[in-house]
Structure 1
Amino acid sequence: MTVQKKFFGELISECVAVFIIILLGDSVAAMYSLYDPSPYKTAYWGVCIVWGLSVTIAIYVTGAVSGTHANPAVTLSLALFRGFSWRKVPLYMLAQIAGGFLGAAVVYTLFAPVIDHFAAAHNLDRLHDGAAAGVFFTHPGDFVTPMHSFVVEIILTGLLVFGIFAITCEYNTMAPQANSGALIIGFLVAAIGASAGYLDGWAINPARDFGPRLFCFFAGWGASALPSPGNYWWVPIAGPLVGGVTGAGLYQTLIRPFMPRNIPVVVASSSDQSA
């Protein structure tokens, strides 16, 4: 396989990974938001589990090809601290955003009649009221300002990438073995959502938010999507990028240097023994 073909496969893999995450994650957001009574309103943990499992499934599908970054914050952190090629970073990020865009398009195809009914039933307009926008992208929750959300995204994405670096550290003897790391990363995403998701929708991934937001801009939401009320669009991009690098840096500084290194046993040769 040529280098160019391999890299092309990696880009497809990253696009597919985010596509899977958005297809499942935004669909469960639609189930949560658009139906009354909602099957999840009194079972929010179910929403978190679906988002987490979407990440797990994406890793199992694409991990052998690209490593399943599926998140520009992870890609940037790996380039800074784990030797990932800087040459690949921009196109990885574009592929991830494209996956988010395509995933949102399919979710819209699935739920378009329900979205229209929801907007009509609540006398809402996509362009002016952002009707059902929460299905596709994030926004600050009650009592949360955009700047506070920026801090939230730094902390939550920092925790995510800190955990990913720990789970994938080759020296971490307590990390899940073989391929079970994908499941634990999914549980980490679910735990973050369950503990803090109501603050701002826990984007923790620029592609997860911006790809669907870009789709919605062209699908009738317009300024409700970009730049969004309060000019919020940049927060789920900048916050996770800063948070991811911070979390990775903390792991590399505070934990990794103290991990046990397995020292290989040197077996003496016959000439050494006879010396």
Structure 2
Amino acid sequence: MEGSLWEKNEIVRVGLAETLCTYVMMVFGLGSVAQVVTGQGAFGHYISINLGFGLGVALGCHVGGKVSGAHMNAAVSFAMCVYGRLAWKMLPLYFLSQLLGSFLAAGSVYAVYYEAIHDYCGGNLTATGAKATAAIFATYPAPYLSLFGGFIDQVFGTAMLLLCLMALSDQKNKPAEAGSESTLVGLLVLLIGISLGSNSGYAINPTRDLGPRLFTAVAGWGLDVFRAGNGWWWVPVIAPMIGGVLGAGLYKLLVELHHPPLTRQFKLNPSCPLLSCKSKISFHFPPISFKY
């Protein structure tokens, strides 16, 4: 009975933490987009959005990192299930928590920027056109981008995210130093934004995109948010799930599976101070920690 109660409490703890850290990440990320769009260049530019999401991810990691692992991304949670780092029964909890956090963050940003948004678009909430504002909340493809090109874009961007996250948490390679994980994950998201973001806004995250899109659908933009971009909405939902598995799998296949035993690692690195080597190998990450 006590074990069952503890398990229920653990599920509640994880769900609440994952919702809150996702909410924090999305408030800062979407808020940066709203400021750039409604300010028409007077209060930031594209780099502001990259910084907003990057720093938002870093802060989200601090909010939920030791409780839920701060995935904040269904593609990360799915990849962790595929490779045995998260129980499959926990996937619905992570997905719903991330979706709720993203939805609530979109609502909060809309409330804060309500007057600015309506002043910018004249009260005409649209998903397309010169004064479109739906893209403040969810991603939409550039005019030149096909659905196939966008699919590849999202697969590749998410693959790079998971590949690098696997490297940052690999205790047998060159992991992030204890205490620096959240900063490095934030910098990774920033890097993806400034290198792979212009095609479609680098959602690389199904719940980050779907939650705010659902909010805009019920908040006045209507079903056009699902029709725009030739029915773009499903691409940032499906493609990142595939990309995450591929990126994590590529790292495991080419690097992780080829690590020598720990005793041999010490022999191969005689210049490494013994205390430093031991601390890196014995430091324990929870199997779901510090993932964007």
Q: Fold conserved (TM > 0.5)? A: yes
Q: CA deviation at 1:21?
A: 1.2
The aligned runs of 1:156-235 (5 Å cut-off) are: 156-172=157-173, 174-235=174-235
Instruction: Let me know the Cα RMSD of the aligned residues.
Output: 1.9
Residue aligning to 2:276: none
Q: Is residue 117 of structure 2 the alignment partner of residue 115 of structure 1? A: yes
Residue aligning to 2:105: 103
Q: Distance in 1 between matches of 2:18 and 2:114?
A: 26
Residue aligning to 1:29: 33
- 1:210-251 Cα shifts (integer Å, max 9, x gaps): 000011110011112234341111000011111001101111
Q: CA deviation at 1:35?
A: 1.0
Q: Distance in 2 between matches of 1:101 and 1:3?
A: 27
Q: Distance in 2 between matches of 1:114 and 1:96?
A: 27
Q: Distance in 2 between matches of 1:101 and 1:261?
A: 45
Aligned with 1:67: secondary structure? coil
Answer with 236-245 or 140-149: which moved more: 140-149
Identity across aligned pairs (percent)?
30
Question: Residues 16 and 227 of structure 1: is their aligned pair in 2 closer, same or farther, counting only changes over 3 Å?
Answer: farther
Q: CA deviation at 1:127?
A: 6.6
Residue aligning to 2:13: 9
Q: Distance in 1 between matches of 2:72 and 2:214?
A: 17
Determine if contact 2:141/2:150 at 8 Å carries over to the other structure. Answer: yes
Determine if contact 1:18/1:207 at 8 Å carries over to the other structure. Answer: no
Of the candidates 45, 67, 70, which is equivalent to residue 68 of structure 1? 70
- 1:173-220 Cα shifts (integer Å, max 9, x gaps): x22211201111110100000012111000000111000001111001
Q: CA deviation at 1:128?
A: 6.9
Instruction: Give the residue type in structure 1 aligned to 2:144.
Output: F
Q: Distance in 1 between matches of 2:147 and 2:17?
A: 32
Residue aligning to 2:259: 259
CA radius of gyration, larger in = 1
Determine if contact 1:33/1:134 at 8 Å carries over to the other structure. Answer: no
Q: Distance in 2 between matches of 1:195 and 1:183?
A: 18
Aligned with 2:66: secondary structure? helix
Determine if contact 1:34/1:114 at 8 Å carries over to the other structure. Answer: yes
Which structure has more helix as a fraction of its residues? 1
Answer with 255-264 or 151-160: which moved more: 255-264
Question: Residues 82 and 181 of structure 1: is their aligned pair in 2 closer, same or farther, counting only changes over 3 Å?
Answer: farther
Aligned with 2:49: secondary structure? helix
Instruction: Give the residue type in structure 2 aligned to 1:159.
Output: M
Aligned with 2:117: secondary structure? helix
The aligned runs of 1:34-53 (5 Å cut-off) are: 34-41=38-45, 44-53=46-55
Q: CA deviation at 1:5?
A: 0.5
Q: CA deviation at 1:131?
A: 2.6
Q: CA deviation at 1:86?
A: 0.5
Q: Is residue 66 of structure 2 the alignment partner of residue 59 of structure 1? A: no
Question: TM-score if structure 1 supplies the norm length?
Answer: 0.89
Residue aligning to 1:271: none
Q: Is residue 157 of structure 2 the alignment partner of residue 153 of structure 1? A: no
Q: Distance in 2 between matches of 1:116 and 1:13?
A: 33
Answer with 163-172 or 225-234: which moved more: 225-234
Residue aligning to 1:268: none
Q: Distance in 2 between matches of 1:240 and 1:127?
A: 22
Q: CA deviation at 1:263?
A: 2.6
Q: CA deviation at 1:49?
A: 1.7
Q: Distance in 2 between matches of 1:205 and 1:127?
A: 20
Q: Which ranges of structure 1 fall in alignment gaps of 5 or more residues?
A: 266-275
Q: Which ranges of structure 2 fall in alignment gaps of 5 or more residues?
A: 267-292
- 1:102-153 Cα shifts (integer Å, max 9, x gaps): 0100000100111101111xx8543775831111000001411222111100
Q: CA deviation at 1:40?
A: 2.0
